[in-house]
A = this chain, B = another copy of it.
Amino acid sequence: MVVVPSSAHADIARCAAPHLRDGQIVILHPGRTGGCLEFSKVLRDHGCRAEILLAEAETLIYASRSDGPAQVRIFSIKEAVPLAALPATRTPQVLEAIHEAYPQFIDGLSVLHTGLNNMGAIFHPALTLLNAGRIESTGGEFQFYIEGVTPSVARVLEALDRERVTVAAALGIRARTGLEWLKMAYDATGTTLYEAIHNQPGYRGIKAPSTLNHRYIFEDVPMSLVPIAALGQRYGVSVQAIDSIIRLACVIHQTDYWRRGRTLNKLGIEQLSVSELTAYVNEGVYE
């Protein structure tokens, strides 16, 4: 079970490559966008030929925060977390193996589904950037969702969300919209993201990050927004709003998140057509 920021997945794969043995199961928990694809590519590149079962969860099963150097506080355990193996034909085997310890995991269809249903990619970086001045001048002393998501900010989130769902559609996948996800995860409803987010009592009390040097940017931009945008560019979907957020994050952190992020060549899928990519994630057929 690999429970680390997704920026570390490639390193973990590099370290694990010589030691993995046939029949072992590796679960990226969570995978963010493209976790299994990148992990698998790094294993191949490092000569790992072991027949492992590789899977990723759509999100972490715990709602939790670190309380100290070796201490974690679990607020709640989610009721259902989608999980998919690469290839998806192996998902039942993985679920079967962990079912007793983790009955909450359910079939996530494919790693493209788990990766493209990544809602943090939509909410975190844009919400952080459109509140950049306030985060930095107050040290995050305001309610991130309740005060940070205003009608205009929500319109940007909706634009990003539309682009993500359209990228998924170009791959033949029906991703959940932000509104559907809020309904499913929290039973929060509304006709706009602004309404639905403000109708979710669980967001009350959640403070903003205290600094812009936060995983909402340095993890979510390269490991979530970059692969979604890269898929969009490759398969002909306009991702202008996502791209704007990536660029502003690059400027603010003075980092080339396109270079550091999960581009299609890092995922090993640069040359694949949609049907080849589908065959790869579903059945493991890889040219």
A226 to chain B, nearest CB (A): 15
The proximity string for A residues 241-264 relative to B, scoring 1 for CB distances below 8 Å and 0 otherwise, is: 101110110011010000000000
Complex Cα distance A130/B137, Å? 12
Q: Is A45 an interface residue (CB 8 A)?
A: no
User: Using Cβ atoms and an 8 Å threshold, which residues of chain B touch A155?
Assistant: 251-252, 254
User: Using Cβ atoms and an 8 Å threshold, which residues of chain B touch A137?
Assistant: 142, 147-148, 150
| The 6 residue pairs across chains A and B that have the minimum distance between CB atoms | A136-B150, A244-B244, A131-B133, A134-B134, A130-B132, A159-B251
The proximity string for A residues 51-85 relative to B, scoring 1 for CB distances below 8 Å and 0 otherwise, is: 00000000000000000000000000000000000
21 A-B pairs within 8 Å (CB atoms) are namely A127-B133, A129-B130, A130-B130, A130-B132, A131-B134, A133-B148, A133-B149, A133-B150, A136-B150, A136-B151, A136-B152, A137-B142, A137-B148, A152-B212, A155-B251, A155-B252, A155-B254, A156-B248, A240-B247, A243-B247, A244-B247
A157 to chain B, nearest CB (A): 10
Q: Is A106 an interface residue (CB 8 A)?
A: no
Complex Cα distance A131/B212, Å? 13
- Closest B residue to A144 by beta carbon equals B133
Complex Cα distance A243/B247, Å? 10
Q: Is A237 an interface residue (CB 8 A)?
A: no
Among A132, A156, A245, max chain B CB count under 10 A is at A132
Q: Which residues of A contact B (CB under 8 A)?
A: 127, 129-134, 136-137, 142, 147-153, 155-156, 159, 212, 240-241, 243-245, 247-248, 251-252, 254
Q: A132, B147: Cβ atoms under 8 Å?
A: no
Complex Cα distance A252/B156, Å? 6
Given A241-B247, A244-B247, A247-B241, CB of A252 within 8 Å of CB of B152: yes
A273 to chain B, nearest CB (A): 29
Complex Cα distance A37/B111, Å? 53
Name A132's contact: one of B131, B240, B245 (CB within 8 Å): B131
User: Using Cβ atoms and an 8 Å threshold, which residues of chain B touch A245?
Assistant: 244
- Closest B residue to A137 by beta carbon equals B147
- Closest B residue to A254 by beta carbon equals B155
A107 to chain B, nearest CB (A): 35
User: Using Cβ atoms and an 8 Å threshold, which residues of chain B touch A247?
Assistant: 240-241, 243-244
Name A251's contact: one of B142, B149, B156 (CB within 8 Å): B156
Complex Cα distance A254/B192, Å? 14
User: Using Cβ atoms and an 8 Å threshold, which residues of chain B touch A254?
Assistant: 155
Complex Cα distance A241/B129, Å? 14
User: Using Cβ atoms and an 8 Å threshold, which residues of chain B touch A156?
Assistant: 132, 248, 251-252
Complex Cα distance A131/B136, Å? 10
